[in-house]
Amino acid sequence: MRAGVVLHTQKVAGISGSEAHLLQLLPDLRARGWDIRFLMLHEDEPGAWEFAAELRARGVPLDAIKLRADVDPLAFGEVVAHLTRMRPRILHTHLVHADAYGQLAGSVTRVPFRLSTKHGFNEFREGRWFGFADRSVGSLAHVHVAISRGLARYLAETEGFDEEAFEIVHYGIEPDGAVSPYAGGEPRLLCVGRLIPIKGHLVLFRALALARAAVPDVTLDIAGRGSLEPALKSYAHELGLSDAVRFLGFVSPVRRAMEASAIVVVPSLGEGFGMVALEAMERARPVIASAVGGLPEIVADGETGLVVPPADAGALADAIVALAGDLSRASAMGSAGHERALSEFTPERCAARIEELYVGAVGRGSE
């Protein structure tokens, strides 16, 4: 092992985008010789312990501290005590709670090198006071990492961060066995994500209604659950889409739903990265995506899919018609996406970029 502990910390409620990323990244970094440990902040959710079991099974030591409230002085004291005992050489925080507790505690205990990774788009970031607080905590980190250039730009626009100061480290994806071209006859779309407003389902339904005037047999599967589900079902009925839209509920593994679809649509109004798009490309499916967050960095417009303005039902409908009406073109884009995913967005590239930052930290020594 390289000299010194590298401690990652994040508040965990379940296994979603950032947690899945850490389940890949942290074992990869250990395999490269880094003494990686994890401190899990949690509220005792079942999903947190599922994550803990998965990470430990991958050989990463994990400790846990319970948060009893968003602002928990007792938990902060426990984080300080943990850092004092462990004396990490590098502290790497992820998401808002870990930034607040970890960067403050890391500063108090004088951890030599501190990094913060920003993972996602959130509406609450647009609040004036949140931006001030986030920048203040962020000033304690020596290096800021964003998972896409689009996210760095968003943080600059909404919170006042320096966009150019962010190191950009994209997520990676492992190949998941052989892929097959879409075997269905009709053009079937798939949208994967929580059923919440920011995911853009309402725009997608309007676009689908428009697209069916040109491609009557195009259909849509919705994978995911969320608070918007009753409203979406009602809206589908209102638009005359009841026979064209299927609600699949929670789907695992999601690749099965992707393999049963010709095209994957990501109509989000905000995304930090866009892992669904990358998963679809790995399965050789073309992607129609909004031009938000990291999606334009993942989807090569006109090559591996189509990128459209966010919240523009007309433009989204045109993109659906272009691919749903020409499945051979869609298939060719899917093949190109598969090649791009496995060459440009590899776990090895992701781990190597993080390792570069760590090597630089060790080389510079203490603050």
User: Over the stretch 248-290, which tens digit does the pLDDT of each residue have?
Assistant: 999 988 999 999 999 999 999 999 999 999 999 999 999 999 9
Verify that 92 and 129 share a domain, yes or no. yes
User: Over the stretch 203-236, which tens digit does the pLDDT of each residue have?
Assistant: 999 999 999 999 999 999 999 999 999 999 999 9
Verify that 72 and 206 share a domain, yes or no. no
pLDDT at 95: 93
Verify that 327 and 354 share a domain, yes or no. no
Residue 181 inside a domain? The answer is: no
Dihedral sign, CA of 308, 211, 266, 230? positive
Verify that 275 and 315 share a domain, yes or no. yes
pLDDT band at 133; cut points 50, 70, 90: confident
Could you tell me the residue range of the domain that residue 48 belongs to? 5-172+346-364
This prediction has a pTM of 0.91
Residue 95 inside a domain? The answer is: yes
What is the signed CA dihedral for 148, 52, 227, 223, rounded to 10 degrees?
A: 70
Round the average pLDDT of the chain to a whole number and report it.
Answer: 94
Verify that 339 and 355 share a domain, yes or no. no
Verify that 13 and 112 share a domain, yes or no. yes
Measured CA to CA, the distance from residue 113 to residue 92 in angstroms comes to: 9
- The yes-or-no verdict on residue 367 having pLDDT over 60 is no
Verify that 197 and 333 share a domain, yes or no. yes
Cα angle for residues 211, 191, 95 (degrees, 5° grid): 135
Verify that 250 and 138 share a domain, yes or no. no
By C-alpha distance, which of 72, 85, 71 is closest to 39? 85
User: Over the stretch 315-352, which tens digit does the pLDDT of each residue have?
Assistant: 999 999 999 999 999 999 999 999 999 999 999 999 99
Mean pLDDT to the nearest integer, 87-100: 96
pLDDT at 172: 96
Residue 25 inside a domain? The answer is: yes
Verify that 153 and 201 share a domain, yes or no. no
pLDDT at 37: 98
User: Over the stretch 13-71, which tens digit does the pLDDT of each residue have?
Assistant: 998 889 999 999 999 999 999 999 999 999 999 999 999 999 999 999 999 999 999 89
Verify that 37 and 81 share a domain, yes or no. yes
**Residue at 296: amino acid letter:** P
pLDDT band at 123; cut points 50, 70, 90: low
Measured CA to CA, the distance from residue 345 to residue 298 in angstroms comes to: 8
Measured CA to CA, the distance from residue 217 to residue 131 in angstroms comes to: 46
pLDDT band at 134; cut points 50, 70, 90: confident
Verify that 100 and 215 share a domain, yes or no. no
By C-alpha distance, which of 257, 261, 266, 317 is closest to 285? 261
pLDDT band at 366; cut points 50, 70, 90: very low
Residue 283 inside a domain? The answer is: yes
Q: Residue 147 belongs to a domain with what CATH number?
A: 3.40.50.2000
Residue 247 inside a domain? The answer is: yes
Residue 256 inside a domain? The answer is: yes
Verify that 87 and 106 share a domain, yes or no. yes
- The yes-or-no verdict on residue 364 having pLDDT over 70 is no
pLDDT band at 127; cut points 50, 70, 90: low
pLDDT at 125: 62
User: Over the stretch 292-320, which tens digit does the pLDDT of each residue have?
Assistant: 999 999 999 999 999 999 999 999 999 99
Percentage of the residues of the chain whose pLDDT score is greater than 90: 87
Number of domains in the chain: 2
By C-alpha distance, which of 100, 107, 94 is closest to 134? 100
Say how many C-beta atoms besides its own lie within 10 A of residue 295's C-beta: 25
Measured CA to CA, the distance from residue 338 to residue 48 in angstroms comes to: 32
Residue 179 inside a domain? The answer is: no
Residue 23 inside a domain? The answer is: yes
